[in-house]
Structure 1
Amino acid sequence: MSFVGKVLVVVQVVLSVCFMGFAGAVYTAQSNWRAKSQKLQDNVANLQKSMNELESEYSNYKVESDQKIKDALSREQTAKVANDALQAQFKTNQSQLETVRAERDSAVAQAETTGEEAKFRQQESGRQRVVNKTLHDTVNTLRGKIKNLEDTVFTQSIREKNLIAKHNTVLDELKYLNKIVANLGIDPKDPAIAGMQSPPPAVEGLIINTKKDKRNGTKFVEVSLGSDDGLSKGHKLFVYRFGTKENGNRPKYLGKIELVYVDPDKAVGTVIDAAKNGVIEKGDHVNSKL
């Protein structure tokens, strides 16, 4: 083996030893790092556990502290309400005391004037006796009037019974007459018959037109009232004209008409009674009651 080969072998051996030392150092460092890492992780876990326990204790302490603060505030509010109630009661008692003092003063003043009032009461009692006598006489008078009114009511009740009996009799007669009219072939509901049987309702209207038949001299008037106002054929209306200042504003009677034709909003009638000193004209008034 040459010198170079020996040198290379020595170098190789040295390098091998160095690499072995380096590998041992690396292994040792790696083992120490893992142990430290595990230890640090254990420390972190312990610290986290301790922190969690501390946080739990802090949370519990905070809840207890908040509850204590709330209880203290509630007690403070209750005490404040009680204090206000006591102050209000004190004011009330003080006001009642003032009232009692005022009543006492008033009672003293009233006691001082009792003697004078007694005299006035004696005089007043004399006047009251006179008033009572007058009232007694008035009561007796009113009792007499009440007795008379009771007698009048009794008499009126008897009259009412008699009128009811007459009314029932008239109704029976009306039914009987309706049967007779029906047997004669006449319709009781005919407008002319209805107008003859029942009086017209209380209405008031105007003459809107007049016309005279030249053949027979009958005078027709048209009025502003009709069946919608409750009128029917055969009803009679009065005609009048408002007065003037010369006659004292008194209405003037012009005559009476009988309806011969009725529409819903107007009707035509003939003059059956004309006044001697007046002529029925357009604009005159008609009324069912004179």
Structure 2
Amino acid sequence: MNIVGKIFVFLIFVMSLVFATFSVIVYATHTNYRDEILREEAVGNKPLGWKAQLEDLQRLYEELQAQLEDREDKISQILAERRQAVAGLEAEKERLLAQQTEAQKNYQDLRQLHEKKLAEVESTMNDIRRTQGEIDDLRQQIKRQQETIDETFAAMILRTETNNQLQGEVKRLETTNETLTDQVARAKQLVSFLSDGEVTLDTPVDAIDEPPAVEGRILAVRKRDKDTFVELSVGSDDGLLSGHELQVFRGARYLGNVIVLQTNPDRAAAIVDRATRKGPVQDGDRFESRRATQRRI
């Protein structure tokens, strides 16, 4: 074999290596489009198959189409209500126009009546002049009455001083009444506990101050700085008082305690105790007292 043949053999060997390399690269970068289309779950870095993505997009399209139809129905209903309201306003406009016409007619009648009354006033002025003499006599009587009024005024001043003293006494009694009202509320709570058998006459006072067996829902949540305030669905009619402590749950999960700040007959305001908080409190969370928990157990 001469040198030219050797060169061709070497070139054939080199080209074989090049084509073999191309084959390996093509195989490594080959995409299995059947797997790309029919893959039902995402595997590793491979996403969900095209067919599954298309089905998801179709379901999303159907949901959006249903929402669009629902919105269109609502818009049609609103437009119908608006048209009905406009018709009512047109009828009200016609009624007001009729009232305006009637008012203009009444104005003309009142104007004629006014002219008639002016004539009567002139006649009355003549009568006043005749009664002027009678007024002079009445002035003498008024002078005598004024003396009587002065005496009455002096007596009224004395009564005013007495009234001021009585008002001070009333304020003192109102303060006493507020104190007694709070005591009556606690007494009612004690009577309720005694009737339910939750406490006896030997129960310590600290145990009586605990909230009664109540439970309800969180109606609203308001955050201010680091504190969280909540509105409760029960109030003083259920035996709640300021300072009572309640437990908050979401399902079976304990979220912490809230402390009652203010009560109304059917509502109460409370603050979340940061020392016992185990999670964020939301609208709709359930709360109950320890007595309610013990009664349920």
Please confirm whether the aligned pair reaches a TM-score higher than 0.5, indicating the same fold: no
- Indicate the structure (1 or 2) with the bigger Cα radius of gyration: 1
Q: What is the TM-score normalised by the length of structure 1?
A: 0.30
Q: What is the TM-score normalised by the length of structure 2?
A: 0.29
Higher relative contact order (CA 8 A, sep 6+): 1
